[in-house]
Structure 1
Amino acid sequence: MPLKELIMASYEILTPTKDGKPRIKVLVEYGYDEHGKRLRKRKTITLPMLSEANIINAIAQFEKSLGIGTPIFENPLKRTFHSFSEEFMLNYVQQELKVKSRNTYENYLKQGITSYFGHMLLSKITTGLVNHFFLEQKANKAGSLVEKFVLLKSMFNKAIEWGYIQSNPCDKAVKPKRAKSKRINFYTESQIQHLLAVLPKFHIKHQLQTKIALFCGLRMTEIVALRFESLDFAHNTILVENTLQYDKLSNRFFLDSTKTGENRLVYAPKTLIQELQAYIEQKKKKLDKLGDKFNPLLDDKGKAIYFIFSKDNGYPNHPDRMSKQWSDIVIRHELPAITFHGLRHSYASYMLSKGINIKVIQEQLGHSNIRETLNTYSHVTREQKENATSLFDSFH
């Protein structure tokens, strides 16, 4: 049977009290009444210190004071897909999956699923309707069709488990075919030289972010998660331990593990490390002068996290912001149009073209296995094969 409480809590940080104590406003959503109205309670809470532990404890105490736990009236036959999708997100996705997965699912729901199925009764959704939805999606050239199908099938399986429906309409539906992988976009050697020629025109922060992606192959979320202590100036290395993620539900940033769940040590050009060292020294001086205006992200122990790339007040930048800034730079300086992630592809493609061992490239990129690297950059290895066979032309 489904969980009836549908508990969801979020908070926002308010201005401190007159005596400087931190405050948060908590919103608890805990289900529906017999008329289908969402049950919500809000409370402003003063904390002894702004830390993750204190926030979690405050929310737990507030939920306890509400006496949450009374079963909520619900008629399974009148359950709409939209209503069920909210419960699916609250009681399954938010409880069991990572924030990144939750954000991805929310995006898929917004990209046609909710607008098509939302008003329908869950018990009335048929295989034919599922097939029609994906025909529409294909006609509209929508993306991620396979992923959306997997999500829908998972949702209907959960609806069966929770007693809302008897069978899964996706079981006999036509599964969308995965689109052929598009050729990745990257800069050639001459285009890299052009980029480096105009690079001094960028803001210093954007210069360094670009170089880290281009010279080291880091992902965007890894770059914004770098801290002062991530760099080893003596050995010219960058320790990649985390990614920076944004939780839309709680409206907060947090450090998550890397894509593979493993740390990696990335070797960087000495000149880049020296530039980063100088940048960090200047940043430390600026942060020291902020005083009460210093607003860093705090770790689980309430200690400030010093990001290399952050806002002027020390608060982290959203990874999407870096992508937007890069797009603006490409237009402003008339560079070939590739995404910021394309700089990572440019790094790998250039390294392969210069004959660098594929195992070294795999470790630098943080791929889970060498097959992933070979498959992603097959265009380069194919060219290497052609060049290799041409060596024997001289024998004819």
Structure 2
Amino acid sequence: MSIDYKNNKYRFRVAKNGIIYTRIYISNKKISENDVKHKKWPRDVINAHKDFEVSITRNEIGKKENMLFNNLAQLVLDEHVRPNLRPNTESFYITSYNKHILGYFGGISLNKIDSIDIQKFVNNISKTLKASTVRQIYAVLSSTFNKAIDWKIIKENPCRNITLPKIENKNYSELLSTEEISKLMEVIENEPELYKIIFSIALYCGLRQGEILGLTVADIDLENGYIDVNKQYVSHYKKGKVYHEIAMPKTENSIRKVYMPSAVSKMLDEFISNKKVLNIKPEKQYLFINPKTQKIYDHNAVYRRFKKMTKIIGLDNLTFHDLRHLQATMMLHSGANVLVVAKRLGDTIDTVSDTYLHAIEKVEKESVNQLQEFINDNIRTN
């Protein structure tokens, strides 16, 4: 808990369960610079802070629309986010509340927050944050008000008719040149076996990093040539600590069979055969286990190795997730239809169509040219 003084206003801050509540208080009592320096607050300020702290401790969340936003945020966190959503989502809610939302809306009653206030908030954070981040924070804010509607605390969501910053579609067709892709493939071939396989699965099969690290020997069907994607390895932060766990895939579409190129199948066949020689406990059948710790390799270890590898060939800006995008783009350019690519990536057709618009347009143009050639060669006109 703390009291700060600035611009003739006091700011109270009280932490509970990872949420920092704030309240602005104005006192009629004059205070000297020396008192501010030594935090000698007027008695009414101290009493108001104590009352605020007690109200937070007792979960006195107010009545209906008179409830302060910070009390609604706590209620949403306790009764909706923690019981129903994943730890990573909980962490993002807490970060969004503490870093952005509560400082702006925390001490305001719900009945005093209108659409124009939401628009001003969005415009304000858009000055310093990426459009994608702004949209994610806005989603948390809107979801919070939606729960208030579900619980009959308010009647309307003020997050309506809000203009959000546009996200520019990245042209994945121009992510790497043909020469750069060749260099990438070559440098992957020279990686140590474990990292070579991880990077190859990402590039040639389009799996997400968590999906790759969560693979077990049983998930590799060498006879039929596919990878059974049915879980993922995730990391999340809670109370300053990093936790790892095996979780369900990102979406229902993410549960899928991904067929492997023969080169990847051969690598995995040899890798699994070698693993059987190692003294790995039966219950530790995950593919990418560190023999020293008997734990799955950490996301950060894979990231560091990837960045070290791409730096060698001058592709410092390439991310691990870009391998997935490259895989999709190469498939589209090779003639695969959108449905096949979407199924392979575990995405929806709409997502693939929006994400790889440039590649699809190029393939479509080529298809039209092929259609014209077919007409010219096979259909006689009078």
Assess same fold via TM > 0.5: yes
Could you tell me how far apart the structure 2 residues matched to 1:174 and 1:249 are?
32
Could you tell me how far apart the structure 1 residues matched to 2:103 and 2:366 are?
52
Q: Say yes or no: does 1:382 pair with 2:361.
A: yes
Q: Match of 1:244?
A: 233
One of 310, 333, 348 as aligned partner of 1:330: 310
Gaps of 5+ in 1: 1-6, 10-31, 39-71, 289-293, 295-302
Over 3 Å counting, the alpha-carbon distance change for 1:120 and 1:306 in structure 2 is farther
Q: Match of 1:149?
A: 138
Could you tell me how far apart the structure 2 residues matched to 1:199 and 1:182 are?
24
One of 270, 282, 285 as aligned partner of 2:262: 270
Q: Match of 2:224?
A: 235
Percentage of matched positions with identical amino acids: 22
CA contact (8 A) 2:170 2:355 kept: no
Q: Say yes or no: does 1:135 pair with 2:123.
A: yes
SS in structure 1 of the partner of residue 234 of structure 2: strand
CA contact (8 A) 1:225 1:243 kept: yes
Could you tell me how far apart the structure 2 residues matched to 1:82 and 1:351 are?
48
CA contact (8 A) 2:228 2:256 kept: yes
Could you tell me how far apart the structure 2 residues matched to 1:162 and 1:266 are?
42
1:145-192 per-residue CA deviation (whole Å, 9 max, x = no partner) reads 3343332122134345557x6565725663425434332364343322
Name the structure where helix makes up a greater proportion of residues.
Answer: 2
Could you tell me how far apart the structure 2 residues matched to 1:157 and 1:234 are?
49
Q: Match of 1:222?
A: 211
SS in structure 2 of the partner of residue 139 of structure 1: coil
Q: Match of 2:327?
A: 347
Could you tell me how far apart the structure 2 residues matched to 1:325 and 1:353 are?
29
CA contact (8 A) 1:237 1:267 kept: yes
Displacement of 1:366 after TM fit?
2.3
CA contact (8 A) 2:202 2:209 kept: yes
CA contact (8 A) 1:125 1:169 kept: no
Matched to 1:271, the amino acid is A
Q: Match of 1:35?
A: 54
Matched to 1:97, the amino acid is L
SS in structure 1 of the partner of residue 247 of structure 2: strand
CA contact (8 A) 1:130 1:169 kept: no
Q: Match of 2:101?
A: 113
Over 3 Å counting, the alpha-carbon distance change for 1:338 and 1:75 in structure 2 is closer
Could you tell me how far apart the structure 1 residues matched to 2:299 and 2:166 are?
28
Q: Match of 1:308?
A: 287
Q: Return the TM-score normalized by structure 2.
A: 0.69
Over 3 Å counting, the alpha-carbon distance change for 1:376 and 1:124 in structure 2 is closer
Aligned length: 319
Larger radius of gyration: 2
CA contact (8 A) 2:70 2:106 kept: yes
Q: Return the TM-score normalized by structure 1.
A: 0.67
Could you tell me how far apart the structure 1 residues matched to 2:357 and 2:160 are?
35
Displacement of 1:108 after TM fit?
3.4
CA contact (8 A) 2:149 2:157 kept: no
CA contact (8 A) 2:91 2:238 kept: no
SS in structure 2 of the partner of residue 338 of structure 1: coil
RMSD of aligned alpha carbons: 3.7
Q: Match of 2:75?
A: 87
